[in-house]
Amino acid sequence: MDVFTLIAFVSTCFLIFLKASTAIDSISPSEPLPDGKTLISNDRSFELGFFSPGSSGNRYLGIWYKNIPVCTVVWVANRVNPINDSSGMLIVTATGDLQLLSQNITVVWSANSTKAAQNPILRLLNSGNLVLIDGRNGNSEASLWQSFDYPSDTLLPEMKLGWNLRTGLNRRLSAWKNSDDPSPGDFTCEIELQGNPEWVLRKGSKKYFRYGPWNGISFSGVPILSPENQIFSYEFVSNEEEVYYMFSLKNKSLLSRIVLNQTDYAIQRYTWSEETRTWKLWLYLPDEYCDKYGLCSAYGNCDSTQLPACQCFKGFKPKSPDGWSSGDWSQGCVRNKPLNCQAADGFIQFGRLKLPDATHSWVNKIMSLEECRDKCLQNCSCMAYTSEDIRGRGSGCAIWFGDLVDIRQFQSGGQDLFIRMSASELGSKRNETKLKLALLIAIPLAALLAMLILFYYFCQSRGSSEERIEEKKENDIKNEGQDEDMELPVFQVATISHATDNFSLSNKLGQGGFGPVYKGKLVDGQEIAVKRLSLSSTQGVNEFKNEVKLIAKLQHRNLVRLLGCCIEGEEKMLIYEYMPNRSLDSFIFDQIRGKELDWSKRFGIICGIARGLLYLHQDSRLRVIHRDLKASNVLLDDEMNSKISDFGMAKTFAGDQTEGSTNKYAIDGLFSIKSDVFSFGVLLLEIISGIRNRGFFHPKHSLNLIGHAWKLWKEGNPLELAAESLGECFTLSEVVRCIHISLLCLQQNPEDRPPM
């Protein structure tokens, strides 16, 4: 049975039901939508009602096209909770919540409005968007809830695929399991947030296909998506508020949709043909062998016009020649000549490419291409760069760190990429044709130059030579003294590179504000964590040394122990003890891992953080203000003991110096222990609730986490803040006391906040 026959079969099931139904144009609290009645848009383009897909007897609430014979569902409400009879009823509550009921009792699906409404009305717009509005003003644009924010497997015109960064809402697609079951399958599509956001398809947890980063005109990996097509236009928006893709139809009378197909593991665009009365397939991705994610692995370039398809870039060779020749490209390519960051590395330009996976990338929208090149050269882990926006003469900067993967070659379209090469590789290529001419000129010149040099040194006094030698000795002694001033071991770059397997991505633990952190193992077997300052860090060598000296003096069981540092060329690294359980945020904000932290463990973590801050503020030789206390900067050892880390923003003042006497504190309060106290209060709420403060807005009253906690405390319901993962086994007095302390720490006036 082909796909169109299957669609026709499904549509027959719908039409039998639809002919017997009656339609309305809105739903209010006084008029529910029972099974057998439908809600239609004003121009009768779309219809909402109950349906049974294919041969299934289950009932679902969904939206489909109204006036075409092939009944095509574009949205389903109760995807994971079907109704097994015809008792379904959709109601709008007086406060503006949607509820889908079975047997008039059981709630199988619900949706909460963003705020209370005095006269809530549910309408189906001509776009296919189901919206809940406040009927007081009748403004359908000011929706309290909309189905476009919670797509199923279909993207319609004017629907956003991507993120609302203010609320944390992620609009993503997930395919139906099959034609009889609209529940989410394992094939998903979403915009991934990273240095350079891009559109990614996943099969389970693994990447399956990338569109490539946005270049101002299109996605570099899909040049077929020309903005000059006659059907649709599209835009990609990435700013501090939102990151999303959206398309619009150029001819409003046309019908077009994007759908995710679990059976074929493909994303497809269909347009409706009035002539044939069928859906025509306009685009199918991935559609080529080279579209498979990471087929040629690191530094491999997939070219569908070549045999074999995988080719190593110029300057690279197969890591496993035997495997490569037999069609096993999993180990990718390696350089012919290794990079030497201290020497003059350069770049080779490659054209018409799908840009590499942008997971480990960085973007600056105002840099020129020349500035971008210089920026890349300043960091030894930067492997490639290009223009962020190719419109006009090009603008902006996009750079990549670590191995370059998932690149393919196009015959037309694509984008230029500048890949880093060693100076010796560049030199051998560039000078090969000029070698003979250079020798003919160089030999006589060298002889003449040698005679001049001998004559020059003969004329120099021995005293001057001795002075230069003595000056060099003094400089050597001075440099040696700098290392001694560090007060802890100084490692070589080669040692750390070997310990981290050349800063392999597989050893990367995370990315902080000042650079990446890698796991490593020294030759004696000791495990370490290496914080490598990024090229964007504004911290200079002197500031870095001051930070190292500061941390070296801090010794406490609730502070991460610094083992050493590395300062060599542009490289600045800190070597810490390795924490096997990573950071606190990986537990408390994860619904699964959060269950590993019962209340007793969370309370122990809270006490450990408090002890660490007390030491910094009061008991250390220098009073220290951390200034960046948050869940990601609290690490956990193998026994779940908490240790404060990352002192890149820390400030100090003498033990007998009061915070109020400093100019810094007088200006803006940044140099105050009370700023750490405030951060501790926020962290307490996050540990107790399992909710991230940043980006949280309560759907009922739009308060953030702090405002929500204050509201519950004033209402006498503080325990509503406790995370479900705490279970029922916790000490009531301890939880309430911690909430009370957190609110004291969060008072607006710093003088009202208690000391640690």
Q: Given 628, 637, 656, 752, which residue is catalytic?
A: 628
Backbone CA torsion sign across 242, 246, 252, 257 = negative
The C-alpha atoms of residue 17 and residue 522 are separated, in whole angstroms, by: 70
> Tens digit of pLDDT for each residue in 117-149?
788 899 999 999 999 998 776 554 578 899 999
3-state secondary structure 400-451: EECCCCCEEECCCCCEEEEEEECHHHHHHHHHHHHHHHHHHHHHHHHHHHHH
**pLDDT reading at 246 higher than 60:** yes
**pLDDT reading at 3 higher than 70:** no
Is residue 630 within 8 Å of residue 683, measured between CB atoms?
yes
3-class SS of residue 709: helix
Cα 237 to Cα 216, 243, 391, 694, 702: the distances in Å are 10, 5, 15, 22, 25
Average pLDDT, integer, range 376-391: 92
Backbone CA torsion sign across 228, 232, 238, 240 = positive
> Tens digit of pLDDT for each residue in 522-569?
988 899 999 888 765 556 666 677 668 777 778 899 999 888 898 887
Which value, to the nearest 10 degrees, does the dihedral of the CA atoms of residues 310, 313, 319, 324 take? 20
The C-alpha atoms of residue 323 and residue 332 are separated, in whole angstroms, by: 10
Looking at the whole model, is its pTM more than 0.75? no
Q: CA Rg, the chain, in Å?
A: 32
Q: Which residue has the higher pLDDT, 172 or 660?
A: 172
Confidence bin at 282 (pLDDT 50/70/90):
confident
**pLDDT reading at 460 higher than 70:** no
Exposed e or buried b for every residue in 169-183, given b needs 16+ CB within 10 A? eebbbbbbbebebbb
**pLDDT reading at 16 higher than 50:** no
Tokens 């699964």 belong to residue: 592
Spatial CA neighbour of 734 closest among 612, 640, 604: 604
Q: Which residues pair with 64 in a beta bridge?
A: 47, 73
DSSP code of residue 715: T
Tokens 């008072």 belong to residue: 747
**pLDDT reading at 666 higher than 90:** no
Average pLDDT, integer, range 396-412: 93
Is residue 489 within 8 Å of residue 476, measured between CB atoms?
no
Count of CB atoms within 10 A of residue 156's CB?
A: 23
**pLDDT reading at 268 higher than 90:** yes
Task: Tell me how far apart the 2 most distant CA atoms of the chain are, in Å.
Answer: 111
Please say if 628 is a catalytic residue.
Answer: yes
Tokens 């574009």 belong to residue: 74
Burial of 205 (0-12, 13-18, 19+ CB in 10 A): exposed
> Tens digit of pLDDT for each residue in 313-350?
999 999 999 889 888 899 999 999 888 876 678 999 99
Backbone CA torsion sign across 298, 301, 304, 307 = negative
The C-alpha atoms of residue 20 and residue 12 are separated, in whole angstroms, by: 13
The C-alpha atoms of residue 220 and residue 211 are separated, in whole angstroms, by: 7
- Domains of the chain with CATH codes: 1-149 (2.90.10.10), 151-285 (no CATH), 291-429 (no CATH), 493-577 (3.30.200.20), 585-752 (1.10.510.10)
Residue type, 272: W
The bridge status of strand 198-203 relative to strand 206-210 is antiparallel
Confidence bin at 51 (pLDDT 50/70/90):
very high
